[in-house]
Amino acid sequence: MKRFSFVLAFVLLALFLNAQTLTNSPAAGVQAGRGLFLKNCAHCHGADAHGDEGPDLHKLDWTDEQITTRIRNGKKGQMTAFAGKLSADQINEIEDYLRTLK
């Protein structure tokens, strides 16, 4: 019985660690960023990010800092600032998603 409990505990620990790895992986950040983009940005940039009222976001040649700053501060008369609505981690996840757009 002790051996079974040990094996069960080991298996559960392995599953937990695997789940932690998956949720902390870059792919998880990209997926989270896509969800945030669809909720907060798609109404202007389009669900596919090819632009609508806002510009096409594919193949951005901006630095990470430029993207983060624009999302955080917006652009007067053109883009809403999201600093009060999104956390720094959420803004980084959107940035990660934008980097995947080709």
Q: What is the pLDDT of residues 4-42, one digit of tens each?
A: 454 444 444 444 444 444 456 778 999 999 999 999 999
Assigned domain for 17 exists: no
Assigned domain for 2 exists: no
- For the chain, the domain total comes to 1
Assigned domain for 10 exists: no
Assigned domain for 44 exists: yes
Give pLDDT, residue 2: 62
Assigned domain for 12 exists: no
What's the CATH code of the domain at 51? 1.10.760.10
Assigned domain for 82 exists: yes
Q: What is the pTM of this model?
A: 0.74
Taking the C-alpha atoms of residue 15 and residue 72, their distance in angstroms, rounded to an integer, is 36
**Whats the size of the chain, residue-wise?**
102
Instruction: Give the structural domain span for 89.
Output: 29-99
Report the DSSP beta bridge partners of residue 75: 79
